[in-house]
Structure 1
Amino acid sequence: MSELLNVMAASMQADMNRVNTVAHNIANSNTAGYKRLFTLGGDIQTGALADARQGAMNRTGSNLDLAIEGPGYFSALDNGGAYVSRGGGLRLDSRGRLVLAQSGMPLEGEQGEIFLQPGAFRVADDGQVFQKELAVARIKLVYPAKDARLEAAGNGLYRVSGAMADPKDLGGPGRLRQGFLEMSNVNSTREMVELMEATRHFESVQKAVQGMDAVWDKALRSLGEF
């Protein structure tokens, strides 16, 4: 009896994790570069991973907005930690570094951090950054392998568990499009359906637990009569 209750409790916890994940997806359905999170497993589900499929391109016209068309991720470094992102909203910080607007982490170039002078700049589709028609840096893209896991780290960032791949093996390299942002790949209708399914499953298991508890309580009372 106790083992069955433990299994049911674990299943209910998995449903709660699933509900929280879906709610997070819905809340970020309009966040640029956001990748839908999902959970693995059957009844006993594990941590949330990211769905790497590309979202729609939205033209903004801002030279501080970049989108990656095709495979690849922007690379960001913070105190030695490596992260990747598809959110290409950028800004210049107080030091003149090109940083990801959402997290404030410096965007990594082929030669390290990218420093720019105030004023306009242009980004070619291969990542070359130009100011006054002089090449000053090149934005680095990284390519997690198909079997690599992307774990959400907040602020549009992901940690990669697994190897990197040759972009040619992924149909790449990716091309940068300045003046565009990649939108979230969340389908709100699909998420609402999944939310209802998880909620109904949680409620059904909860009723089963309550029924077992009632049977157990009745059995104990019956024993007490002898």
Structure 2
Amino acid sequence: MDALIYTAMSGAERAMRGQQVHANNLANLDTNGFRANLELAQSAKLPGYGYDDRHMSQLQANAITDRQGALRATGRELDVAISGPGYFAVQGPTGEGYTRAGAITLDADGTMTVNGMQLLGEGGPITLPIHRKVEIGQDGTVSILGPGADAQLQVIDKLRLVRAEASELTKNEAGLLVARDGQPLNTDATVLVKAGHLEGANVSAIEEMVATMSLNRTFEIQMKLFKAADSMNEIGNKLISG
């Protein structure tokens, strides 16, 4: 009976934490470029002598799904979305990170930023001089039109675009994607961008709600198992006590 209690309580905890993962996905339904977290679990033995038949369920919530989110036209010259697989590189609090968010803003120095983090080009953070127009090409080339009437387009830098499989990435404390091995990703010339667009979150509200309801039922079943194990323990104690 003791082993059954461990199994039931471990399953109930996994269901509860799984609900938190899906609740976080739903909360970011309108966050541009958000990558949905996946809820994965694996069996783990309980350490200690005499506990060989007791197993716990360990939740792994550090995996993501890389399916494409919906692209929305904004017409804003500093809005950019990645068309197909790939990521923008930004300078995060603890080093280089990757994102699909493309709502670019300029700070007081003219440096391009995304969500307050410097957007990286092939030469480092991209800082724009005084200009009257910005153009971002399909290959990530950043060009400006100077303030003069006879000014011509001038290439400033090129966005650092990278590519990786979802299984190779995880999220850090800042919510940025990073490589699991801790190494920076290589620039990939095949990644394409679409100016004047933003990508929405790749979260499906229907899938998240269905998963949440399924976890609710799982939690209820685990609670019934726990009560059944407790009842069997009481009966066993009565038999032993005679």
CA distance in 1, matches of 2:2, 2:109: 60
The aligned residue for residue 22 of structure 2 is: 22
C-alpha deviation, 1:40, in angstroms: 1.8
2:201 aligned with 1:201, yes or no?
Answer: no
Q: Where do 5+ consecutive residues of structure 1 fail to align?
A: none
Which of 143, 167, 175 aligns to 1:130? It is 143
* TM-score of the pair, normalised by structure 2: 0.81
Provide the secondary structure at the position in 2 that maps to 1:41: strand
Q: Cα–Cα, structure 1 residues 154 and 50, in superposed 2: closer, same or farther, change >3 Å?
A: farther
Q: Cα–Cα, structure 1 residues 190 and 222, in superposed 2: closer, same or farther, change >3 Å?
A: same
CA contact (8 A) 1:150 1:159 kept: yes
CA distance in 1, matches of 2:195, 2:201: 18
The aligned residue for residue 140 of structure 1 is: 160
The aligned residue for residue 61 of structure 2 is: 47
Q: Give the greater-gyration-radius structure (CA).
A: 2
CA contact (8 A) 1:18 1:39 kept: yes
2:76 aligned with 1:62, yes or no?
Answer: yes
CA distance in 2, matches of 1:78, 1:166: 17
C-alpha deviation, 1:146, in angstroms: 5.8
Alignment of 1:185-200 (within 5 A): 185-200=202-217
More strand by share: 2
The aligned residue for residue 115 of structure 1 is: 127
C-alpha deviation, 1:223, in angstroms: 4.2
The aligned residue for residue 210 of structure 1 is: 227
2:170 aligned with 1:150, yes or no?
Answer: yes
C-alpha deviation, 1:79, in angstroms: 4.5
**Deviation digits for residues 11-53 of structure 1, max 9, x if unmatched?**
1121112111111111111211111211223573312311011
- CA-based RMSD of the aligned residues comes to 2.2
Q: Cα–Cα, structure 1 residues 32 and 176, in superposed 2: closer, same or farther, change >3 Å?
A: same
CA contact (8 A) 2:65 2:166 kept: no
CA contact (8 A) 1:145 1:165 kept: no
Provide the secondary structure at the position in 2 that maps to 1:210: helix
Q: Which amino acid aligns with 2:105?
A: R
* TM-score of the pair, normalised by structure 1: 0.86
CA distance in 1, matches of 2:42, 2:215: 12
Q: Cα–Cα, structure 1 residues 110 and 34, in superposed 2: closer, same or farther, change >3 Å?
A: same
